[in-house]
Structure 1
Amino acid sequence: MKPNNWAAKAPNKSTKSSDLLFQVTENTELMVFLIAKMPHKSRVNIKTILRDKQVLVDGRATTQFNHPLIPGQEVTIKTLKAYQEKPYKGLSIIFEDQHLIVINKDEGMLSISTDKEKELTAYSILSNHVKKTNPSNRIFVVHRLDRETSGLMMYAKSEKVQKLLQESWHATKERIYLAVTEGKLPQSDGTVESYLVESKAFIVYSSQNPNNGQKAITHYQTLKSNNNYSLVKVTLETGRKNQVRVHMQDLGHPVIGDAKYGSKVNPIKRLGLHAWVLTFVHPVTKESLHFETPIPKKFTGLF
């Protein structure tokens, strides 16, 4: 096995604790260095980080992927949120290219407009964002998150890419949520499978009748628990409306703050659901993209 010639260093006083700081110990190029230090990121991800001036060599932002490195230099990788030039209220853009946008949405932010709210939505904010480059630019909805659910979402920049993403949505590599549920689950892990049906009152419920509703499969694993709550990793095999919320209710341990599906407590004043990890194949470049967001502090504070 080839030894790792690039040693990580402790951040200095001018570097945020969330930044990554490395010392170069051999001659190489910047892209080669970054690929070695961030194997979980694709070349597209790394090029975006370079483009957004999040990579500093000896304290100076560097955007050229073939920038030469020599022993003794320091490379700092800034956090995406810390280096975002124009943050938007209610969301942060964590990846963008000419085909799509991936965001981290706050709880309380609508994915798209409704009859009651048309202005302050992720869709409207991103529409204005892309029009700054070209007034004719547009964005297109790929999927949705409930208003009170935070986390990862993506939008397409053309109808063609929207269609490609929606057609391959069932084949998305990873869609992982974090849920805080009431009480301690009797089994630390397992799978819930049912057919989901939506009533005229817009409430989704489970059925075991294959002729009634859409098949939904949810895998879950308890990460932390105490007498009152459980922090549960939820992996979706299918992506149905309110799937996680309904299946946690089916287990008898609804998501906290989810009165619609049986919760009687709301200790963090929000729905205890967060879209944590999203991994998919880029519909145009065919590269595998992986995104992971921080666990909300309100979740961890309960444990």
Structure 2
Amino acid sequence: MTDPYIDPDDYSDISENEISATQHLEIPLSLGGERLDAALAKLLPDFSRSRLTQWIKDGQVKVDGQVVAPKTKMLGGEKLEVSLQPTHEEMAFQPEAMDLPIVFEDDHILVINKPAGLVVHPASGNWSGTLLNGLLNHCPSLAGVPRAGIVHRLDKDTSGLMVVAKTVPAQTDLVRQMQARSVKRVYRAIADGVVPFDGTIDANIGRDPHNRLKMAVLKFGGKPAITHLRVLERFASHSYVECKLETGRTHQIRVHMREAGHPLSGDPVYGNLRHKMDEDTAAAVKALGRQALHAYALALVHPASGELRSWKAPLPDDFRRLLDLLRGDGALPDEEAFAHADEQDDEDWDDDDDDDGDIEVIYAR
């Protein structure tokens, strides 16, 4: 099933010829009388018969230079030319040249400021052009680490900080921290409407019973989900907010903010297309072309040194332009202008509680 949140045209092509191969085989006399597909299955046991049959139908198997049907009987002695074609899954784990905005790197971890529009992990509709492909190109040794070191992900159109493990021990340690909810992440977002006060949204999330391609708040079933919300600034038709999560459900912030009546600006899936705003703001939201959500800050215990490390990623340009317009002053202050917010972040990172475990773990040993 194609992921509805992924544009299938938004990935770079990878030539199958780069990773395909041609094998030259001969039908032994002992297989005389067998159908071509049956004989080929015995000669190439690493491939399923259905896959080999499809190759024959696609003309990727030639018998004495000719394309024939799968049911063609072999006499023995025929020369086969077989073009081995990789599956999408096999093609997915290939290195691709890519500019990675690396915030920090050592022998153990990478911290990346993921741009909006970049899919993290290959899946149906996006078998190439993902962050994983870029990581394999940047650090070939990641081929020996499960999921190329990826232990959590951001939605395609969410920007911001992600940590990647460069070794299996580092990955194991990061997964442990994430499961213990000791990794701290802070998101910045622009929401529709004037959010009246800070608070906590505690509502289970699961598949939308009316649309299985979306997530929703469920009264019965679903998984526990808790989002802590703090308002940073209020405007005439929007609010600039900070979100922290105790849990890491799929689309959690987006779903919870919709449930609270303040969906994220520009969200193509959970947003409110009828939200009232002036023409200039409406044009800016349309130009954003995505949900206004950014993983702004990250803190964790370094898996090798044991030191607490933290990073912040400035708001991306598209987010800043919308916020600038909402402020109406023609210039966005530096992030230091939000001293109260930043000081609060730093204090939270130093505590020992597990309130901010906002990680959707996609690999666990």
Q: Does 1:251 align with 2:271?
A: no
User: How do 1:218-233 residues align onto structure 2 when only pairs under 5 Å count?
Assistant: 218-233=227-242
Letter in 2 for 1:104: N
CA distance in 1, matches of 2:168, 2:213: 28
Residues 1:159 and 1:269: Cα distance change in structure 2 (over 3 Å): same
Structure 1 residues 299, 160: CA separation in 2 closer, same or farther (over 3 Å shift)? farther
Greater relative CO (CA pairs within 8 A, separation 6+): 2
Which amino acid is the alignment partner of residue 311 of structure 2?
F
1:193 to 195, 202, 214: 202
Report matched runs for 1:59-208 at 5 Å.
Answer: 88-89=98-99, 91-131=100-140, 138=145, 139-169=148-178, 170-187=180-197, 189-199=198-208, 201-208=212-219
Segments ≥4 residues shifted beyond 6 Å: none
Tell me the residue number matched to 2:250. Answer: 241
Instruction: Verify the 8 A CA contact 2:136 2:143 in the aligned structure 1.
Output: no
In 2, the alpha carbon distance for the partners of 1:88 and 1:184 equals: 39
Query: In the aligned structure 2, how far is the partner of 1:96 from the partner of 1:284?
Result: 13
CA–CA distance in 2 between the matches of 1:173 and 1:129?
25
The structure with the largest strand share of the pair is 1
Task: Tell me, yes or no, if structure 1 residue 300 matches structure 2 residue 323.
Answer: yes
Q: Distance in 2 between matches of 1:126 and 1:244?
A: 27
**Partners in 2 of 1:99 and 1:263 — Cα distance?**
42
**Mapped contact 1:130–1:137 kept (Cα < 8 A):** no
Q: Which amino acid aligns with 1:176?
A: V
Match of 1:278 in 2: 298
CA shift, 1:173, in A, is 4.3
Partners of 2:223 and 2:306 lie apart in 1 by 29
Q: Give the corresponding residue for 1:84.
A: none
Does the residue aligned with 1:144 lie in a helix, a strand or coil? coil
CA contact (8 A) 1:118 1:124 kept: no
Which digits, 9 at most, give the CA deviation of each residue in 1:35-89, with x for residues without a partner? xxxxxxxxxxxxxxxxxxxxxxxxxxxxxxxxxxxxxxxxxxxxxxxxxxxx953
Structure 2 residue aligned with 1:11? none
Identify the range of structure 1 (146-155 vs 119-128) with the bigger mean alpha-carbon deviation. Answer: 119-128
Q: What does residue 58 of structure 1 align with?
A: none
> Tell me, which stretches of 5 or more residues in structure 2 are unaligned?
1-96, 274-281, 328-365
Q: Name the one with the larger helix percent.
A: 2
Displacement, 1:104?
A: 0.1
Q: Which structure's CA Rg is the greater one?
A: 2
- Determine if contact 2:206/2:215 at 8 Å carries over to the other structure: yes
What are the within-5 Å matches in structure 2 for residues 19-58 of structure 1? none
Q: CA RMSD in A?
A: 2.1
Contact 1:107 1:149 in 2 (8 A): yes
Q: Is the 8 A contact 2:192 2:265 kept in 1?
A: yes
1:228-273 CA-partner distances (Å, limit 9, x unpaired): 2111011112222111001100110100111311331633222200
> Deviation of residue 135 (structure 1)?
8.6
Tell me which of 203, 217, 224 is aligned to 1:215.
224
Report how many aligned residue pairs link the two structures.
211
Contact 1:224-1:232 at 8 Å conserved across structures: yes
Shift of 1:208: 4.1
How much does 1:192 deviate? 0.4
Residues 165/153 of structure 1: CA separation in 2 closer, same or farther (3 Å cut): same
Q: Is the 8 A contact 2:301 2:308 kept in 1?
A: yes
The two structures have a TM-score, normalised by structure 1, of 0.64
Question: What residue is the counterpart of 1:10 in the other structure?
Answer: none
Contact 1:137/1:157 (<8 A) preserved: no
